[in-house]
Amino acid sequence: MEIQKQLKSHGAWIGKWTFILAATGSAVGLGNIWGFPYKAGTNGGGAFVLIYLACILMIGVPIMIGEIILGRSSGNSPINAMRRMALASNTSSSWQIIGWSGITAGILILSFYSVIAGICFNYILISATSSGAMSASDQFSEVISSPLNLLFWHTLFMVMTALIVSAGIKDGIGRMVKILMPMLGLLMIFMVVYSMINGNFSQAMSFLFAPDFSNVDANTFLQAMGQAFFSLSLGMGSIMAYGAYMPKDQNVVNTSFTVASLDTLVAVLAGLAIFPIIFAFNLEPGTGPGLVFVSMLTAFNQMTFGWLIGPLFFTLLSIAALSSSISLLEPGVAFLSEEGYLSRKMAAELLSLFIWILGFGSALSFNIWSDFNLTPGRNFLDSMDFIANQILLPLGGMLIAIFVGWFMKEQIIKDELGQINPTVFKLWKFFIRFIAPFSVAFVFVSQFF
Ligand code: PHE
């Protein structure tokens, strides 16, 4: 049987915290710091936050537990993990499609994620040197109108991502997240304290947390669930790939709760860092993709220590993006290198080269290709985003829930979960079998109506 062939091992992470830091690094990204506050704000504030929390608990955490079980039990990248687990459960090896769709989603997401993250890099410099003579929105237009500028920063970001992933699990990703995540935590707390003192904190609190159920409709649920999925990095194998390097003695359920809590905490803290400043400077909270760049630069231009706080803030955003981008690249690199044809370094270089070129389309969609639609009504970047986040991730997540809930051998699951409270196990089983697949199917289908 094909799976019997010897696959190359990637090594494992040592210590309790490395997996938690890496998985949290993957989860916390542009999605949290920009996406969550903005979506909470436009979807009824506190009501959205409540629904989002319910999605994290009822769909996100059960699927995350499933992904970690699949990854750790097999010790392989998502494609081989699914193949191996399907065979071990006496079912069709076609389940490996989950791995293929995940790697495809990772490639598509990273191609545009890197362009946006490149803009964050660029803003470290801009916010340090901006005199305020040019308005922040003109500044943003200038940044995105230059293909060369966008490509330069996109290139830098892709090179950094590739370097970290090619250095391997222990020396690359493991070591980097141990430095990056505490830095991110400290910067985050600093920004929140700064905003509490200098911004309009009470208005931000009521904007984010006062539940306004009058604005809640079906779309609120869709948005909250999509955000929960993307934010926890689920449905594409990132967490599965990282699970393969998780020590066997670590508790899967507790770890999943920790990662989900940290991810949610950062999203909430990001809201508490950004909105007080937006309100203090009378800026518009719901402006879309430019929000973080235009609003925050406007604020930094007017602040006494803006030249210092600005670069700190955009460094934070870049770090969050980098610890996510490495998890987007890892499943593909792990697959190519474990097959034994390519070294990890070669695999990381080749795949990054491909993603880098694909990213040109997204960079150009801000300027010379802005009128070019790849899918109906969507430019290149929006098409990548749509195919990955609205099709591949939900489908991947749903299939993972169905496989783990209905097809996977119970003994394998029990071995991975270890000593577990029988009620917790029953609850998880119920959520992964029924609640998660049906909710995802509902969301998936309703977006097309
Ligand atoms: N979770 C990351 C964010 O919130 C994005 C991501 C999605 C990373 C899927 C890996 C896999 O920005």
* Ligand 1 atom 11, closest CA: 233
What local confidence, expressed as pLDDT, does residue 323 receive?
Answer: 92
> Sign of the CA dihedral 255, 259, 264, 268?
positive
Return the ∠ at Cα 146 (arms to 349 and 312), rounded to 5°.
70
Evaluate: CB of 29 within 6 angstroms of ligand 1: yes
Residue 294 has pLDDT above 90, yes or no: no
Evaluate: CB of 324 within 6 angstroms of ligand 1: yes
Q: What percent of the chain has pLDDT over 70?
A: 98
User: What is the average pLDDT across 112-137?
Assistant: 93
Residue 90 has pLDDT above 80, yes or no: yes
Of 352, 317, 315, 312, the closest CA to residue 333 belongs to: 352
Report CA-CA distances (Å) from 424 to 163, 190, 239, 258, 261. Answer: 41, 37, 21, 16, 18
* Ligand 1 atom 6, closest CA: 233
Residue 209 has pLDDT above 90, yes or no: no
Can you tell me the distance from the alpha carbon of 213 to that of 211, in angstroms, rounded to the nearest whole number?
6
91 pLDDT band (50/70/90 cuts)? very high
End-to-end CA distance of the chain: 44
Parallel/antiparallel/unpaired status of strands 378-379 and 373-375: antiparallel
CA dihedral in degrees (276, 280, 286, 292; nearest 10)?
-70
CB 9 within 8 A of CB 75: yes
The DSSP code for 4 is G
The ligand 1 atom at the shortest distance from the C-alpha of residue 32 is: 4
- Of 213-217, 300-304, 428-432, highest mean pLDDT: 428-432
Evaluate: CB of 365 within 6 angstroms of ligand 1: no
Higher per-residue confidence, 178 vs 369:
369
CB 20 within 8 A of CB 258: yes
The ligand 1 atom at the shortest distance from the C-alpha of residue 35 is: 4
- What DSSP string describes 74-128? H-S-HHHHHHHHHHHTTS-GGGGHHHHHHHHHHHHHHHHHHHHHHHHHHHHHHHH
CB 306 within 8 A of CB 299: yes
Higher per-residue confidence, 15 vs 432:
432
Can you tell me the distance from the alpha carbon of 390 to that of 382, in angstroms, rounded to the nearest whole number?
11
2 pLDDT band (50/70/90 cuts)? very low
Higher per-residue confidence, 372 vs 446:
372
What local confidence, expressed as pLDDT, does residue 114 receive?
Answer: 97
Residue 396 has pLDDT above 60, yes or no: yes
Mean residue pLDDT across the chain: 90
User: What is the average pLDDT across 160-170?
Assistant: 91
